[in-house]
Chains A and B, each alone.
Chain A
């Protein structure tokens, strides 16, 4: 893939929440393709392009830690906001954090580093001005300078992700020895299909010597 990119991302903490344990959060062992796409989106995205993650290299040993945090239990309902807007008054609308506490535990990853291999395709929204080369150049320039539209994060906003572009031909950082061999990571979230009622789609993730091959979005292996 001539227009593929490689991005080195790392951070102190990460939480790629499993959907079945998202209340008392437990992270997947490694970054999910949708989280990787989110990092790329944070650096450069336009409606004209769509990122596809091809491969994920896991560089550091998989280490967990648990923490507890105070969060809220409820959310503002769209209906009551609409009502407040039409009534021109915010009475009864506020949600007081200290009256709606929920303590939640999370089992998160410590000290992670990945290399994301990805490419993008032009979407139906691409106009005559859009070309693959143009967007690739924009991405490379921005990533090289460390520019981003919002701080990329490792799963959740609280855990920022740092990034560095790996230039073409540049050697990959080596994987930790403990990741050697083949490991079944179970059914993992590939991405959410937003066009069909936000349906989650899963794939069977396996890691071989620290490398996870991500099947294409449209392939057979990705199930909704």
Chain B
């Protein structure tokens, strides 16, 4: 279905005349110079067609006949190539003479008997060209190994754009098709056509080879079946193979104007809409893009995302935001990840815009925790960042994320299914080893538990509270709260200059094996309270009352150990209680909101 959908998208874009999308047999390549020819084959000039608007001139992308897949063999391209092939001069290639011979031979063969004056001029040029001439102007050293195209002097069209050239190109393709490739039933279109043996490379997936990688490839012998080789294993027509790779390369292109591509962990995500016209598609795509990767600030986009999620969660149509948004617009989301010169599909989700918005709203609701640690919905990218080590003084790095986690998390968000099993364990492990319980991490714990409950798993547990719930009798939650209060007592008694607080030292043990830690912590707290009573009696009484109130709700004895889900609740309780003291206002005058807030700032 993935290839079919991409093929369909290609057809729509082609009909719509999308700029930068090549028709069958052509591909956009970086071209630097055009050689101007006189009708008799004399060289008139060499003009630079690079883009000079920036600091450095950069090659322009031109739609030229698709390049050959080159590895070690000498394979000239049709009507364009680098200087070693076109002119026989190169700074790097040691066999430029052979390459030029091949270029010449190919064109003499294909263009023999042509009537087109421009193509005739090229033939004449090739027969009289001598690489020695490269040393004199109009050539210069900068041109070595750049890509060249041809143009007949006085005409606007490049040689490869001329109808006669396209005809010759079609003949060339048909000839190549007859030689080796078999025909068969195309898996994408269902028609009987010549099959692609090798598929064009896909460029732009982060972490994959820069020369491109393949979704459909059989690069080792154990990948084939039934004695079939290469493309015969997966019968896809030349034309369909071209279509899906071209449109995928188009979606994956880098640049700030491409809003259809985002990076989540190691997965490169592209998405597109199937809408009546280009405007509607673009609006839908930009909304989905913002929802998947919400800007963490108060910008206009962030506001739009908030509004869209609110509408979706209330079941209101998105049209209220923008008349160009339709709930029924079909959306496709594809997550790709590199793997050894191949590209694997991390996830693939289709659905209507309304459905996806609703699922994203559901995700936001599941993750919601108070006080809210973010300004806009928790995008997958930021959630993934919360699961990587937070080293002191360094920004969390996306590279540290577990490979599969990002993809699985995205799948869960887009499909409305369970969050990945490993996410809770991984988050708790990170909290313990970093000692940093940020709002984002608490929200992750809460979201995982809330979604499990909503989907009918672990229903015997009580609901996961969004904000501080003093009535909750869940022992893990209460212990989390108790731990936060004990930390607060220590902080109030000893100030903020403690080298290692009880959180730094005991958080892990307290959340996993409460019975072994809490009695000792409670004993020490009496010392802290004793000190506090001398300075601030009222505050000491308040804290003591808090402790009593929490302990009263606990059972006879502390649990020996907590299950992983309960450790999640512990984290939520801790977050709620420790944040609550900031909200009390006057009561909290002794404890300044310092480190915690700074930590969240880095993550939220």
Binding site for B on A (CB under 8 A): 18-24, 26, 29, 63-68, 71-75, 102-105, 107, 185-187, 192, 198-202, 204, 223-224
Contacts and interface: CB of A to CB of B under 8 A. Distances in A.
Given A23-B342, A73-B221, A107-B345, A202 B187 contact: yes
B185 interface: yes
B1 A29 contact: yes
B415 A224 contact: no
Contact of B222 (A18, A73, A198): A73
Given A66-B407, A71-B222, A21 B345 contact: yes
Given A19-B234, A22-B225, A105-B345, 8 more contacts: A20-B215, A20-B234, A23-B218, A71-B222, A200-B235, A204-B190, A223-B192, A224-B184
B233 A187 contact: no
Given A19-B233, A21-B345, A24-B343, A73 B187 contact: no
B269 to A, nearest CB: 14
B221 A75 contact: yes
Contacts of B221: 73-75
A192 B227 CA distance: 13
A20 B225 contact: no
A22 B408 CA distance: 20
A29 B22 CA distance: 31
B197 to A, nearest CB: 14
A20 B190 contact: no
Interface string B223-255: 101111000011110000000000000000000
A223 B193 CA distance: 12
Interface in B431-458: none
B217 interface: yes
A198 B235 CA distance: 13
A18 B218 CA distance: 13
Interface string B182-216: 00110110101000000000000000000000011
The 4 closest A-B pairs by CB, nearest first: A24-B344, A105-B344, A20-B234, A198-B226
Contact of A68 (B3, B185, B225, B404): B404
A185 B233 CA distance: 20
Nearest to A72: B222
A24 B215 contact: yes
A187 B188 contact: yes
Contacts of B592: none
A63 B417 contact: yes
Contacts of B411: 64-66
Contacts of A224: 184-185
A24 B1 contact: no
A222 to B, nearest CB: 10
Interface in B1-29: 1-4
B309 interface: no
Contact of B404 (A66, A102, A104, A200): A66
B405 to A, nearest CB: 11
A102 B220 contact: yes
A19 B345 contact: no
B48 to A, nearest CB: 42
Interface of B: 1-4, 184-185, 187-188, 190, 192, 215-223, 225-228, 233-236, 337, 339-340, 342-348, 403-404, 407-408, 411, 415, 417
Contacts of A198: 226-228
Contacts of B346: 66, 105, 107
A187 B222 CA distance: 25
Contacts of A104: 339, 344
A187 B340 contact: no
A200 B343 CA distance: 24
A72 B220 CA distance: 9
B590 to A, nearest CB: 50
20 contacts: A18-B234, A21-B2, A21-B234, A23-B217, A23-B219, A24-B342, A24-B343, A64-B348, A64-B411, A65-B411, A66-B345, A73-B220, A73-B221, A74-B222, A102-B340, A104-B344, A105-B339, A105-B345, A187-B187, A201-B185
Given A74-B222, A105-B344, A187-B187, A24 B339 contact: yes
A26 B417 CA distance: 19
A200 B224 CA distance: 13
A103 B340 contact: yes
Contact of A20 (B184, B187, B192): B187
Given A64-B411, A185-B1, A20 B223 contact: no
Contact of A102 (B3, B222, B236, B348): B222
Contacts of B3: 20
A73 to B, nearest CB: 4
Contacts of A204: 190
A96 B345 CA distance: 29
B185 A202 contact: yes
A26 B345 contact: yes
Contacts of A200: 185, 235
Contacts of B337: 105
Contacts of A201: 185
A77 B185 CA distance: 29
Contacts of B187: 19-20, 187, 202
B169 to A, nearest CB: 27
Nearest to A26: B345
Contacts of A20: 3, 187, 215-216, 234, 236
A62 B315 CA distance: 24
Contacts of A202: 185, 187, 190
B185 A26 contact: no
A2 B344 CA distance: 45
A73 B188 CA distance: 27
A102 B339 CA distance: 10
Contacts of A73: 220-222
A186 B347 contact: no
A75 B234 contact: no
B222 A75 contact: yes
A103 B407 CA distance: 17
A66 B233 CA distance: 23
A63 B420 CA distance: 13
Nearest to B407: A66
Contacts of B225: 22
Nearest to B337: A105
Contacts of B407: 66
Contacts of B223: 22-23
- Greatest chain A CB density within 10 A among B1, B217, B219 is at B1
B275 to A, nearest CB: 19
Contacts of A22: 223, 225, 233-234
B574 to A, nearest CB: 31
Contacts of A21: 2, 215-216, 234, 345
Nearest to A77: B221
